[in-house]
Chains A and B, each alone.
Chain A
Amino acid sequence: MAEISEIICVTCPKGCTLRVKHEGKQVLEVLDGCKRGEEYAICELQDPRRMVASTVRVDGGLHPLVPVYTKKAFPKHLIPDLARALRNVEIPAPVKINQVVLPNALGTGIDVVASRDMPKVAA
């Protein structure tokens, strides 16, 4: 059964509301928006992904945490599991930017990396 769902496109700052005609995950027609909006709507229905940013513990660093992020957009439904996994990670200082903190997170093939250097400080 075809149905129409509304999806707010976040590809550009305009934030159009797209009406998408679909059967399950099969997109039949995107009724509003541009070419990029159509691609977004298809991705959003079939495999929604987001960039994820969080922090992990650092031992002996300038701050007790270092910020990290997924190198690529991450499957949306796995974000709560990723957040839990990152809470159990602790790495020693110093940390370098782009250092892999959690390789192949949850078997997705996506690495979680540090988003800055974290210098070591004398205890």
Chain B
Amino acid sequence: MKTNYDVIVIGSGPGGLAAAIAAKENGADDVLIIERDVELGGILLQCIHNGFGLQLFNEDMPGPTYAQYYIDKVKAHGVETLMDTMVLDISPQREIFAINKDLGYLDLQAKAIVLAMGCRERTRAQIMLPGARPAGVYTAGTAQRFVNVEGHMPGNKFVILGSGDIGMIMARRLTIEGAQVERVLEIMPYLTGLTRNYVQCLLDYGITLQKHRTVNRIIGRDRVEAIEAVTVDEKWQPVPGTKEIIPCDTLLLSVGLIPENELSKKAGVLLDPITNGPYVDDRFMTNVPGIFAAGNVVQVYDLVDWVTEAGSTAGKGAAQFALAEKLETGEEIPLKAGENIRYVVPHKLDKNHLAEEQVRLQMRAITPMEERVLVTVEDQNGEVVTKKGEPYARPGEIITLAIQPKAYEAVQRATSLTVNVRKR
């Protein structure tokens, strides 16, 4: 097999697929996707529910259908693929070491790399859940894979901790498959997933959601027998007299996602402690020249359409880097989080890029604002470069704002840009 490629993409979820396609379309000849599973598509394949593609296709598709559109395109573009292959290490010189059952140990060289490993679920250990350690405690995504792909029911009587989208979607899915979902508990005072999922997954099936409430301990020796729920105060401390034992045989955790960057670190990629993903420029290149990052490996997105778009941008940048052996960069200025903004992606902007096309910024609010808000991008003197009104700002939903080429002149005068969200 070949050992030298223009662009190698690690991971074949929506970010990786879009990156490989964009790399081909922008002139890279030899493009390879490395995937550890036995088929292309990533987590979309187990997300069998509808709701994908509304932004890009104006159509409501199930996850596998959305994935297949890009899988078919990858094949039509002649992208090479290596399935069932685990990348072990990456060097800053873009050498990739991987292992495959049939081909053995692989040592590959790429002119550019796109990291598209996605994210992983926060586990029981990471939320420090006390109590016994019996069988029957799963992350919601693991249960999703069992039920939707492998055909196993992980239990009969469930409690779900966390009102994230995967947790609520699994509450509905398990009910449809004949299981009993006793309760969804949410430690925050607000829903952490989308309102539409609360209506379609919980209200429709009569499943109770309790906010400000969490699992105090897990009960059971060999298998989960019950959990003890408790109400918490503003400081997340248990409120006396609010304990309830809920009998169940399975506890699902839907308590957040973390970008998967073990490989990135080995390549010397610097990570932002707020997003847990790499610092990236507006072409999604990391601090290591020629190593790009796309999708949930950068930040946890709420819509797959944005992951696809980010993958395309990264793939295009990777192709340009591979062809020129470098990327022409102009003056770069930092993008900073201002009032009620937790983070902004990308972290910096090349002033020259605005001459050609818009640059999309994405950010998350810190606290919910249930009123009309104004999102502004301001330079170091407080001059507004661009702005956008929104009906509300919620931490659970990414805010998107594009800087248009018409702001080119204003951006030339800036030494930094800060994003703020304020009451109108």
Which residues of A are at the interface with B, using a C-beta cutoff of 8 A?
8, 10, 13-15, 50-55, 57, 62-65, 67, 69, 76, 79-80, 83, 97, 115-117
Contacts of A80 in B (CB 8 A): 176
In the complex, B196 has a CB within 8 A of chain A? yes
Whether A79 contacts B176 in the complex (CB less than 8 A), given A67-B64, A115-B65, A116-B68, comes out as yes
Contacts of A13 in B (CB 8 A): 194-196, 397
In the complex, B45 has a CB within 8 A of chain A? yes
Whether A10 contacts B391 in the complex (CB less than 8 A), given A51-B50, A53-B50, comes out as no
Interchain CA distance A14-B195 in the complex, whole Å = 8
Q: Are B151 and A65 in contact (CB under 8 A)?
A: yes
Interchain CA distance A13-B50 in the complex, whole Å = 15
In chain B, residues 239-294, which have Cβ atoms closer than 8 Å to a Cβ of chain A? none
Q: Are B48 and A67 in contact (CB under 8 A)?
A: yes
Can you spell out 8 A-B residue pairs with CB atoms less than 8 angstroms apart?
Answer: A8-B199, A14-B391, A54-B176, A65-B149, A67-B148, A76-B204, A115-B48, A116-B64
Q: Are B200 and A53 in contact (CB under 8 A)?
A: no
The minimal Cβ–Cβ distance linking B122 to chain A, given in whole angstroms, is 24
Interchain CA distance A5-B34 in the complex, whole Å = 53
Which residues of B are at the interface with A, using a C-beta cutoff of 8 A?
38-39, 45, 48-50, 60-65, 67-68, 147-151, 176-178, 194-196, 198-200, 203-204, 391-392, 397
Whether A10 contacts B38 in the complex (CB less than 8 A), given A67-B64, A69-B48, comes out as no
Q: Are A51 and B199 in contact (CB under 8 A)?
A: no
Interchain CA distance A10-B198 in the complex, whole Å = 10
Interchain CA distance A62-B65 in the complex, whole Å = 17
Contacts of A62 in B (CB 8 A): 38-39
The minimal Cβ–Cβ distance linking B90 to chain A, given in whole angstroms, is 29
Contacts of A57 in B (CB 8 A): 151
Contacts of B68 in A (CB 8 A): 97, 116-117
Q: Are B176 and A83 in contact (CB under 8 A)?
A: yes
The minimal Cβ–Cβ distance linking B166 to chain A, given in whole angstroms, is 14
Contacts of B196 in A (CB 8 A): 10, 13, 15
Besides A53-B50, A62-B38, A69-B48, 5 new A-B residue pairs in contact (Cβ under 8 A), listed by A number:
A10-B200, A53-B62, A55-B48, A67-B48, A115-B64
Interchain CA distance A52-B204 in the complex, whole Å = 12
Interchain CA distance A8-B196 in the complex, whole Å = 8
Interchain CA distance A54-B196 in the complex, whole Å = 19
Contacts of A53 in B (CB 8 A): 48-50, 62
Contacts of A63 in B (CB 8 A): 149-151
Contacts of B204 in A (CB 8 A): 50, 76
B49 (CB) vs chain A CBs: closest residue:
A53
Interchain CA distance A54-B149 in the complex, whole Å = 11
Contacts of B392 in A (CB 8 A): 14
The minimal Cβ–Cβ distance linking B332 to chain A, given in whole angstroms, is 33
Q: Are B65 and A64 in contact (CB under 8 A)?
A: no
The minimal Cβ–Cβ distance linking A70 to chain B, given in whole angstroms, is 9
B64 (CB) vs chain A CBs: closest residue:
A116
The 3 closest A-B pairs by CB, nearest first: A15-B195, A116-B64, A67-B48
Whether A65 contacts B148 in the complex (CB less than 8 A), given A13-B397, A53-B50, A115-B62, comes out as yes
Contacts of B176 in A (CB 8 A): 52, 54, 79-80, 83
Q: Are B50 and A97 in contact (CB under 8 A)?
A: no
Q: Are A64 and B67 in contact (CB under 8 A)?
A: no
